[in-house]
Structure 1
Amino acid sequence: MHVVVFSTKPYDRQFLEAANAGDGGRHRLVFLEARLSAETAGLAKGAEAVCAFVNDHVDAPVLEAFAGMGIRLLALRSAGFNNVDLVAARRLGLTVARVPAYSPESVAEHTVAMMLSLNRRIHRAYNRVREGNFALDGLLGFDMHGRTVGVVGTGRIGLAVARIMRGFGCTVVAHDPVPSEGGLAMGLDYLSMEDLLARSDIVTLHCPLTPATRHLIDAAAVARMRRGAMLVNTSRGAIVDTRAAIAGLKSGQVGLLGLDVYEEEADLFFEDLSDQMLQDDIFARLLTFPNVLVTAHQAFFTTEALTAIAETTIANITSFAETGRATHEVSTEKLA
């Protein structure tokens, strides 16, 4: 198939080309740096499929443009699909495929790295030592052993985090509307969201972005947290109401905040903006807090994860080319 790949970085090209070669090199991949939007959709003219990433904007006008060009498949190289208008895709007869799982350990390990860095102020210590400051004031942490970690969302990533934190000697509690078989097999103590927030020294988010989870951590949720608790989000940015988190930081209700995702990240992440002034005042405010650690959506960024993402994406395209169905289609059957 002729596939146009939007939001391409050098590593995307490297891993997708390797996966395509491993599949016999049967697909023609055209790589574009441009982010997908209504303004750039026309760049896919002549393609049979489009490959998009998490910050590409795939709304009804984009999908209508694709349908008019004869494009039949949207292959997402991500697990999430909240950036796609699935109702429009179904109406237009476009198949949407995704990568449901790649390397849960990559995200889980990054999550724990953020917890440890925040707790022991590694990011602050690193900068101090480079400036010749070897004082320990302001770097006091706490033992992870014996603390309670609340895992919100017990899919593969959440369970991987739970296993790691148990290894630290933490008590792990969980919240999920539908407790997973893996979580039950681990003997996780499932709580209501309110009870989890009240009991946890560390709250870590691993749920998909849906209407029900948008701003799951809002002002009311922050108020229910144990005072001074740590909050880490490596799932989707809009699960946390950033304004509420900032208010919690200012009041001391939120003691430590780690974000690998941000609700307005589409205008920031995956780009080098080092020679520009930040235009997002809320994000800029976040960066002023010494007890906040932000990484730019890199939790997935390991060799193993990128290999799995590329191979699954190519497998989806190949399956669609051969059968008219992708291996991992996003179901739109229940959409009106």
Structure 2
Amino acid sequence: MGIKIAFFGSQPYDESSFKETNQAFGFDLRFYRGNLSINNILLTQGCDAVCIFVNDIANAEIIEKLAENGVKVLALRCAGFNNVDLEAAEKFGIKVVRVPAYSPYAVAEHTVALMLALNRRIPRATWRTRDGNFSLNGLLGFDMHGKTAGIIGTGKIAKILIQILKGFGMNILAYDLFPDKEFAESQNIKYVTLDELYSGADIISLHCPLTDDTKYIINDYSISKMKDGVMIINTGRGQLINTHALIAGLKSNKVGWAGLDVYEEEGNYFYQDKSDKVIDDDVLARLLSFNNVIVTSHQAFFTKEALGNIAHTTLQNVKSFFVDNELTNEVSA
């Protein structure tokens, strides 16, 4: 077909899933391990489309260079688009497309996994028994049945999560700028203000997009409104949480547990093997030192089904523009 796509931030599993899916499309795929930056943008010369992931940055300078190199489409192989300057893309005539839904089940299920692992101290218990320590001291959890979960953002992922948590017998408080009243009625959940959610929830889980309004939605003030010993889960975007405020909450025991699949400065670490190096990010190192914190490497999406959906939707987005003269899943300023 002759259409060339350059992939940045590529991992072996990306190459595998995209190559397999591309058998039905016939594109010329080029994979690069490094994240897209001004230093490697020469690699996009002669390419029709560029595909990036969550830790690639497409600011105005990079967008302008992409346009100069002849790139027509910037394809995000993720749902979020906060890492793209959409106004610059519009100015320089580059279309931006994304994958709005690849597997909401994957993210919702990982969210529950974090809750359960924290509550029942699964990592700590595993380390102990492997060391021959079968004591239960320090492993006390709580029944999730009858507790209250506060869900911030009620999109597709959150709705699946709510259904799972209701299966545990949990009460649900929800917050969304655009509440789905029909869903709330069908699931017997209650939309409340943020302050009501903070004060009423035993577990708070973040599922809203990162915008100017939601950046650092979890901060010193919001944590002060929460129950003592609250559990905070973030499988959304790292900058939804002010990490310094979270650490202060953990140190004071105001926050009892934190499960983080994302981190606001994750770009230098996540998706890379740093096991033979010293972690020089003092904030991340501090987070990892807490035995009531679990950090996973932005893997909530990472299931076989999700990878297949990401690859198919991304390549279909490109095909829709170049072959079908349509634009599917466009993101505009």
TM-score category by the smaller chain?
Answer: over 0.9
Shift in Å at residue 22 of structure 1?
2.7
Counterpart Cα distance in 1 of 2:112 and 2:48? 41
Which residue does 1:94 correspond to in 2? 94
Aligned to 1:322: 323
| Cα distance in structure 2, aligned partners of 1:67 and 1:286 | 40
Q: Confirm or deny that 1:72 pairs with 2:69.
A: no
Quote the offset at 1:187 in angstroms: 3.1
SS in 1 for 2:257: strand
1:24-43 equivalent positions in 2, closer than 5 A: 25=26, 27-43=27-43
Tell me if 1:208 matches 2:209: yes
Kept after mapping to 1: 8 A contact 2:171/2:189? no
CA separation of 1:73/1:184 partners in 2, compared to 1, >3 Å: closer, same or farther? farther
Give secondary structure in 1 for the equivalent of 2:159. helix
What amino acid is aligned across from residue 2 of structure 1 in structure 2? K
**2:266 is the alignment partner of 1:253:** no
Aligned-pair distance for 1:331? Answer: 2.1
Q: Would you say the 8 A contact 1:205–1:233 is kept in 2?
A: yes
The residue identity in structure 1 corresponding to 2:149 is V
Structure 1 residue 116 displacement after superposition: 0.3
Cα offset for 1:42? 1.3
Partner of 1:196: 197
The SS at the match of 2:205 is strand
Q: State the secondary structure of the residue aligned to 1:287.
A: helix
Q: Which residue of 1 aligns with 2:269?
A: 268
Contact 1:238 1:262 in 2 (8 A): yes
Equivalent position amino acid for 1:237 in 2: G
Q: Which structure 2 residue ranges, 5 or more long, are not aligned?
A: none
| Matched residue, 1:299 | 300
Is the CA contact (8 Å cut-off) linking 1:159 and 1:183 kept in structure 2?
Answer: no
Match of 2:151 in 1: 151
182-191 or 267-276, which moves further after superposition?
182-191
Tell whether 2:52 aligns with 1:47: no
| TM-score under structure 2 length normalisation | 0.97
Contact 1:152-1:176 at 8 Å conserved across structures:
yes
Cα deviation for residue 326 of structure 1 reads 2.7
Partner of 2:136: 136
How many residues get paired?
330
| 2:127 is equivalent to residue 127 of structure 1 | yes
What is residue 21 of structure 2 aligned with on the other side?
A: 19
- The 1:188–1:14 alpha-carbon spacing in structure 2 relative to 1, beyond 3 Å, is same
Asked if the contact 2:257/2:292 (under 8 Å) is kept, the reply is: yes
Distance in 1 (alpha carbons) for counterparts of 2:115 and 2:96:
35
Tell whether the 8 Å contact from 1:105 to 1:157 is kept in structure 2 after alignment: yes
- The CA distance in 2 between the partners of 1:236 and 1:161, in whole Å, is 17
Can you give the 5+ residue segments of structure 1 that lack an aligned partner in the other structure? none
Q: Which amino acid aligns with 1:186?
A: Q
Q: Partner amino acid for 2:140?
A: L
In the TM superposition, residue 183 of structure 1 has moved relative to its aligned partner by: 3.9
Q: What amino acid sits opposite 1:13 in the alignment? A: E
What SS does the corresponding residue of 1:51 show, helix, strand or coil? strand
| CA apart distance, 1:105 | 0.5
Is 1:63 the equivalent of 2:35? no
Work out whether residues 154 and 183 of structure 1, in 8 Å CA contact, stay in contact via their aligned partners in 2.
Answer: no
In structure 2, the CA distance between the partners of 1:184 and 1:70, relative to structure 1 (3 Å rule), is: farther
Give the partner amino acid of 1:200: A
Amino acid at match of 1:286: L
**Could you tell me which residue of structure 2 aligns to residue 167 of structure 1?**
167
Q: What letter is aligned with 1:307?
A: G
C-alpha separation in 2, matches of 1:45 and 1:4: 9
Using the alignment, how far apart are the partners of 1:185 and 1:71 within structure 2? Answer: 46
Q: Is the 8 A contact 2:90 2:332 kept in 1?
A: no
Pairwise CA RMSD: 1.0
Compare 33-42 and 96-105 and name the one that shifted more: 33-42
Asked whether the equivalents of residues 96 and 331 of structure 2 are also in contact (C-alpha less than 8 Å), the reply is yes
Tell me the distance in 1 between the aligned counterparts of 2:261 and 2:116. Answer: 14
Could you tell me how far apart the structure 2 residues matched to 1:78 and 1:326 are? Answer: 17
Equivalent position SS for 1:177: coil
The one-letter amino acid paired with 2:64 is: E
Query: What one-letter code is carried by the residue in structure 1 that aligns with 2:133?
Result: N
CA distance in 1, matches of 2:316, 2:195: 41
Helix, strand or coil for the counterpart of 1:22?
Answer: coil
Check the 8 A contact 1:259/1:293 in 2, yes or no.
yes
Partners of 2:252 and 2:325 lie apart in 1 by 55
State how 1:101-116 maps to structure 2 within 5 Å.
101-116=101-116
Per the alignment, residue 218 of structure 1 pairs with 219
In structure 2, C-alpha distance between the alignment counterparts of 1:90 and 1:63, rounded to whole Å: 10
Runs of 4+ in 1 over 6 A off after TM superposition: none
Deviations 1:51-76 (A, max 9, x none): 00000011111111111011110000
- Following superposition, the deviation at residue 17 of structure 1 comes to 1.2
Q: How far apart are 1:186 and its partner, in Å?
A: 2.4
Say whether the 8 Å CA contact 1:222–1:248 is kept in structure 2. Answer: yes
Q: Measure the CA separation in 2 of the matches of 1:184 and 1:95.
A: 38
C-alpha distance in structure 2 between counterparts of 1:183 and 1:321, whole Å: 41
Deviations 1:75-98 (A, max 9, x none): 000000000011100110100000
Partner of 2:117: 117
